[in-house]
Amino acid sequence: KPTCKIGPSILNADLSNLQESCIKMMDSGADYLHLDVMDGHFVPNLTFGHPFVKCLRPKVPEAFFDMHMMVSDPEKWVEPMADAGANQYTFHIEATENAKALARQIREAGMKVGIGIKPGTPVDVVVPYADEADMILVMTVEPGFGGQKFMGDMMSKVKFLREKFPDMDIEVDGGIGPNTIDACAEAGANMIVSGSAVVNAENPEAVISLLRGRVQN
Ligand code: DX5
Ligand code: ZN
């Protein structure tokens, strides 16, 4: 499977000081930053949008920004996010009527394409779009909040995708930390999002390297 990458989610960090949290994560060995955008409609919570990303970009110039777009009109924010400095645009398949056109729009804007599925969405739904995607995100919690319990039964989706697409980046997100990483690694995930387990740790660097070690072995 492709290289393991650890992407902290800063959702549960000190929101009044996100710049510092992002710098700290990069200094702690993060491979990318997973930035959770919520619109209060696709999910029952609100975070930030492209104006925030634009301000953050110069503070962490080297960081790869994986935008997790938990929004109802993903088509609407593609160009603004690209302009703000996003590197990857991960939309939810449940939020669009035309995933193919959206994937093309994202690519034309110069970003990588991620396609996410919620826990209740069957994995087969993404298969027809896999050719258009750089990454498939399998949610391991109901999107909307950090700090929820990992849903182990989502691992069958990851296994299915890994068997079908050996070279695809497969990301898992929600409730992942030292206690749940082994299931993700065994199923074949290689892009690991970890929020509260990393951000709230006394030593984020140690947790990031532990997670990476468990996926690589
Ligand atoms: C949940 C978000 C996740 C979340 C992960 O809707 O998509 O990225 O912040 O946080 P933890 O690891 O605490 O579940
Ligand atoms: Zn996320």
Q: What is the ipTM metric for this complex?
A: 0.99
Which sign does the torsion angle of CA 15, 115, 205, 25 carry? Answer: negative
pTM of structure? 0.98
Which atom of ligand 1 is nearest to 194's Cα?
A: 12
Q: What's residue 105's pLDDT?
A: 98
Separation of 193 CA from ligand 2 center, angstroms? 7
User: Each residue of 167-176: pLDDT tens digit?
Assistant: 999 999 999 9
pLDDT band of residue 15 (cuts 50, 70, 90) is confident
Return d(Cα 66, Cα 89) in angstroms, integer. 6
36 catalytic? Reply is: yes
Return d(Cα 41, Cα 14) in angstroms, integer. 23
Instruction: Report how many domains make up the chain.
Output: 1
- Whichever domain contains 203, its CATH number is 3.20.20.70
User: Each residue of 31-76: pLDDT tens digit?
Assistant: 999 999 999 999 999 999 999 999 999 999 999 999 999 999 999 9
Domain limits for position 78: 5-216
Res 109 pLDDT > 90: yes
Which atom of ligand 1 is nearest to 148's Cα?
A: 14
Separation of 65 CA from ligand 2 center, angstroms? 12
Return d(Cα 116, Cα 209) in angstroms, integer. 25
Return d(Cα 44, Cα 195) in angstroms, integer. 18
Determine the straight-line distance between the first and last CA of the chain, rounded to whole angstroms.
12
